[in-house]
Amino acid sequence: MAAHGPFDLTIADPPYGVTSLWWDKRVDDWQAVAAACLKPSGSLWVFGSLRYLLADADRFEAAGLRYAQDIVWRKANGTGFAADRFKRMHEIVVQFYRRDALWREVHNDVQRVPAVTRNKSVQMSRAVNHTGAIGAAGYHDDGTRIMKSVIEMNGVRGGLHGTEKPVALLAILIRTSCPPGGLVGDFFAGSGAVGEAAALTGRNYVGCEIDPHMAEHARGRLAARA
């Protein structure tokens, strides 16, 4: 696997190895390449099922990657093919950073969303009678809240690639973990959805794709955004 860096952020959507499709073959030790291509302030977001992530846990550890946090992408239009299991409505996205880095040094712009309710922690700013020296206290509610770790968004239907991820979801990860004008790496580019999200958010992008036909689709998609 070849890559160019160093990257401020890498987004990886590797094959889970759970189907008979020709491209759904597990890629060994890509995590070591991803870790080597990260800046000290960079991080890696990985899409996966819990089964896949648990199976590769030792590989992330061996690559020198440390768990930071995870989100759940809840698919409002999820699908399921097994009649003896719950209908699958979600995927997990896990963030890692380099073990030799400090979390406070990793780029992390926590995303905020418009508030839908009044913050219950808001207190009125007024003086009260008290035997001690306690002054007026207040809290400015700016009308936003920290984005929650469960994000509901439709999956891509009719996309160029069978496991294409929503550009809007990818844009959230990029805005959170890559500075404006920074470089996003993508080792499993597919149809170029990460590249489109990078362009929309003002970041640079380098993608790698093993399927020449899909890579051509990705180049055309990114050229349309240029």
- Each of the 226 residues of the chain gets a pLDDT tens digit; together they read 456 789 999 999 998 877 777 777 888 889 999 999 999 999 999 999 899 999 999 999 999 999 999 999 998 776 666 678 888 889 999 999 999 999 999 999 999 999 887 665 554 444 445 555 555 555 678 889 999 999 999 887 666 666 789 999 999 999 999 999 999 999 999 989 999 999 999 999 999 998 899 999 999 999 988 7
Total domains in the chain come to: 1
- Domain boundaries, position 53: 7-111+147-225
Residue 127 located in a structural domain: no
Residue 129 located in a structural domain: no
User: What CATH number corresponds to the domain at position 63?
Assistant: 3.40.50.150
Residue 219 located in a structural domain: yes
Residue 141 located in a structural domain: no
Of 226, 176, 172, which is closest to residue 204 (Cα–Cα)? 226
Residue 157 located in a structural domain: yes
Residue 39 located in a structural domain: yes
Residue 177 located in a structural domain: yes
Phi/psi at 10 (nearest 5 deg)? -120, 135
